[in-house]
Amino acid sequence: MKVYEAICKRRTIRRFSQEPVPKEILEKLIKAARLAPSAANLQPCEYVVVDEPGLIEQVFKTLRWAGYIVPRGDPPEGERPVAYIVVLLNKEKVKAGGERDAAASIGNIVLAALEEGIGSCWLGSIERETLRGILNIPNRCDIDSVVALGYPKESPVVEEMKDSIKYWKDDKNILHVPKRRLQDILHWNKY
């Protein structure tokens, strides 16, 4: 799959088969993350990979899913993620900022996952202090985001945005994701 094709194909996934993601693939995703651009090459990102079933359930409870369609957007029992990557910012490497570094690394994670047939959901609504305790994350690291992973059990569709940015599910439980039209966001040379 070519990069542009992967970008166009990538959708947020919130329903997963329960097939485990192999450790080699999870490690590959971290390798992709560490090669992302980093401001001043400070490389403040660190990662906690969670793939133990008991911990997976504890992490799940610290996350909030699909705010526009709660509770329909929450992964149901038996369709929850089978792994997580918790993205950290080490404050000893960068005093302020680092969010752009995290975003670039997460972009690499979700695209590398897609290449492997793995779906992902980038989450920012997190009970951070609870998660810190569960995973023994030191205070020198801030929790930026969590990426939920697993083999997809849904196929969201993109549609042209009409009057709302809110994603929604139809009566067949298919997620529809509105996106702004190119002509509404593209400006050549001047606004």
In CATH, which superfamily holds the domain spanning 3-155?
Answer: NADH Oxidase (3.40.109.10)
- Residues of the chain with pLDDT > 70: what percent? 100
Residue 58: predicted pLDDT? 98
Q: Read off the pTM.
A: 0.95
- Write down the domain spans for the chain: 3-155, 158-191
| pLDDT tens digits, 8-64 | 999 999 999 999 999 999 999 999 999 999 999 999 999 999 999 999 999 999 999
Residue 24 is encoded by which pair of tokens?
């080699």
Determine if the peptide bond prior to 138 is cis (ω within 30°): no
Number of Cβ atoms within 10 Å of the Cβ of 33: 24
Q: How confident is the model at residue 163 (pLDDT cuts 50, 70, 90)?
A: confident
Per the rule left: phi > 0, alpha: psi between -120 and 50, beta: everything else, 144 is alpha
Q: Considering the chain, what is the average pLDDT of its residues?
A: 96
The residues, any chain, with a CB within 8 Å of residue 165's CB and separated by 6 or more, are 178
Residue 70: predicted pLDDT? 87
**Could you give the CA distance from residue 129 to residue 155 in angstroms, rounded to a whole number?**
33
User: Distance between terminal CA atoms of the chain?
Assistant: 34
